Amino acid sequence: MYMKPIQVMIDEKLLSELDADKEVLRMGRSAVFRKMVTEYLDYHHRLAISNMYQKAYNKDSDGLGEEFSGWEDEGQWPKE
């Protein structure tokens, strides 16, 4: 995999704290930044999916849309 170098501006105090962290010392700044970006993107991806579910199943919304209109009450929960 090709890694592209980037330039990041960061406050000196924050950089000092970052450089003092054990994981950063072990893995290196670049690896930690990649990990943080991956976690950030994953969080926002999950948040977008959660928002779509909330929109689809919110009782004030249009539900699942016209395509599934009328089917909302057709499902049954299994007997316990």
pLDDT tens digit sequence for 7-63: 999 999 999 999 999 999 999 999 999 999 999 999 999 999 998 888 877 766 665
Is this structure's pTM higher than 0.75? no
Per-residue pLDDT band at 71 (split at 50, 70, 90)? confident
Which contiguous run of DSSP H or E holds residue 68? Answer: none
**d(Cα 63, Cα 72) in Å, to the nearest integer?**
9
User: Contact, 38 vs 31, CB < 8 A?
Assistant: no
Which of 54, 55, 5, 12 is closest to 33 using CA atoms? 5
Q: Is the pLDDT of residue 66 over 90?
A: no
